[in-house]
Amino acid sequence: MALQSKLIQYPQLLLIILLAVTVTLQHVAAAADELQGRPQQGMWRPGCRDKCGGMSIPFPFGIDKPGCFLPGFEVTCNTSSTPPRAFLAYNYPNPPYEVIDQSTFDAAGSTGYTARYPPVELFDISLETSEVRVYGGVTSRCFTNSTGVFEKGEYLTLDMYGPFLLSPRNDLVGVGWSVKSSMSYQIKPYPDPLSCSSNSPFRLAAPNGSCSGGLACCQIPLPPPWPNLPVTETAVILKAGSNFWETNPCSYGMVVERSWYNFTSEDLNGYEVLSKKLSRGFPLVLDFAIRNGRCEHDACPSGNSSCVEAANDREGHVCKCWDHYQGNPYIANGCQDIDECQLREQSPEFRDLYPCDGICTNIPGGYDCRCKRGMKGDAKKGNCTEIFPLPAKIIVGIAGFIVVFIIMIMAKQRQKLKKFYEQNGGPILNGVKNIRIYTRKQLKQITNNYESVIG
């Protein structure tokens, strides 16, 4: 009896022990990963500051000292504000810089002019997309009274030979009852300025949120050849007599990251409403590239990365980590393998990006995904199916049960037989010479199937 109950208990015990071992192993692996800490290694040059405030400054961008950045990629970090703010370093009159000029006019003509050239504030650097995002200004033209006009130009000046170019991911936007917003630049041959116009003689505004129909708001994407133009200037031309200076004195123009500006009729009412809406300005996207040199064999210092010629027809290149690698392709050993499986555990966003309906294993340059035990199919596509469907499992289960049952009965019978053999002096008889013990089969033969009696 004890043997039987042990037989039943054993498989369960084994299973529990196996489970415990795998769980412990998994814990050990996780702990090892935690210990290593997986720091974002190789994003910065040794001895260089990696951050300005909360913003990461990866090489070729850098702060403070030569050697921490490539030419044109210097960033200044102004720590007198909280949190500190980052700017593209510049050395007037060498761009990049912001131009803020202000003019006043009355009926007789110009009555005043001032200009400032502050640095361009940086708020995002992406090595993955080779883009930076900066705060751009809003150019405005407002009536101050029935004859007086105040005009403020806020625009970016970029170096023709520097790393930065206006990205085609921006729009030119104009806001006003009747306004022409245009961009001009100082490059020869002078191309036609890009412009858009709104005209609402009956003071119909575009619906909130969009900027369609040329009603009180206009918007036009920067076409792809435009990023080649190094200098951008947004000018707003107010059409005569189009404003009602008491209630809607201003018109606005700006270059802004696509889909960032949402029109609202509120922006039409009041003095300098749009230009004061955001204290630092509207986001503007700039492409960057290393301008001195095309892709050569050692243009990108990191392994696991490749060099790409700059996105426009100006000389230059950018470096990209290969797919499934991350880090900084601009420094040695900068691109490291992404552990997709670990990321998957961290957030649902990565579960969508790296699909796996099974057992995920990280491998250099990707990840492996196999169906769980007892299943087959493409686990990355999520179509794992059971190798044995349920009915088959039931049949196999029942068959197995029957086999076990038969074995148990046979074992019992054997035991019984042994008992009888012992009870009837089997071992003693066996020990005695001249006595022959017949097996059941032999007896059956001799007795002619138990029909004839033997003496």
Residues 356 and 381: beta-carbon distance below 8 Å: no
Tell me the closest approach of the beta carbon of residue 28 to ligand NAG, in angstroms: 21
Asked if 148 interacts with ligand NAG (CB under 6 A), we say yes
Query: Is residue 81 involved in binding ligand NAG (CB under 6 A)?
Result: yes
Q: What gap in Å lies between CA 417 and CA 436, rounded to an integer?
A: 18
User: CB of 123 within 8 A of CB of 134?
Assistant: yes
State yes or no: residue 364 binds ligand NAG (CB under 6 A). yes
Residues 351 and 344 sit within 8 Å (Cβ to Cβ): yes
Measured CA to CA in angstroms, residue 399 lies from 3, 248, 403, 404, 405 at distances of 23, 87, 6, 9, 10
Q: Near ligand NAG by CB under 6 A, which window of 4-12, 91-99, 332-340, 426-434?
A: 332-340
| Closest CB 383 distance from ligand NAG, rounded Å | 30
CB of 225 to ligand NAG, least distance (A): 28
| 208 is a site residue for ligand NAG (CB under 6 A) | yes
Of 139, 200, 264, 275, which lies in the binding site for ligand NAG, with binding defined by CB under 6 A? 264
Separation of alpha carbons 304 and 316, rounded Å: 20
Using CB under 6 A, which of 265, 346, 347, 413 touches ligand NAG?
A: 265
Backbone angles phi, psi at 118, to 5 degrees: -75, 160
Residue nearest to ligand NAG (CB): 303
Shortest reach from residue 96's CB to ligand NAG, in Å: 15
When asked if residue 145 is in the footprint of ligand NAG (CB under 6 A), the reply is: yes
Q: Which stretch, 92-100, 203-211, 230-238, 426-434, contacts ligand NAG (CB under 6 A)? A: 203-211
Sheet holding 109-116, edge to edge: 109-116, 97-106, 149-157, 139-143, 250-257, 170-175, 217-221
Q: List binders of ligand NAG among 82-141 (CB under 6 A).
A: 104, 106
Q: Is 269 in the site for ligand NAG (CB under 6 A)?
A: no
| Listed ranges 94-102, 131-139, 302-310, 446-454: which one lies at the site for ligand NAG (CB under 6 A) | 302-310
Which of 184, 185, 191, 162 minimizes the C-alpha distance to 310?
162
215 touches 200 (CB < 8 A): yes
The Cα–Cα gap between 229 and 227 comes to 5
**Binding residue count for ligand NAG, defined by CB under 6 A:** 25
- Selected range binding ligand NAG among 128-136, 152-160, 334-342, 434-442, rule: CB under 6 A: 334-342
Q: Name the minimum Å distance from CB 144 to ligand NAG.
A: 4
* Rounded distance between C-alpha atoms, residue 238 and residue 176, angstroms: 9
59: closest CA among 72, 45, 49, 77? 45
Contacts with ligand NAG by CB under 6 A lie at 78, 80-81, 104, 106, 144-145, 147-148, 207-209, 260, 262, 264-266, 302-304, 333, 335-337, 364
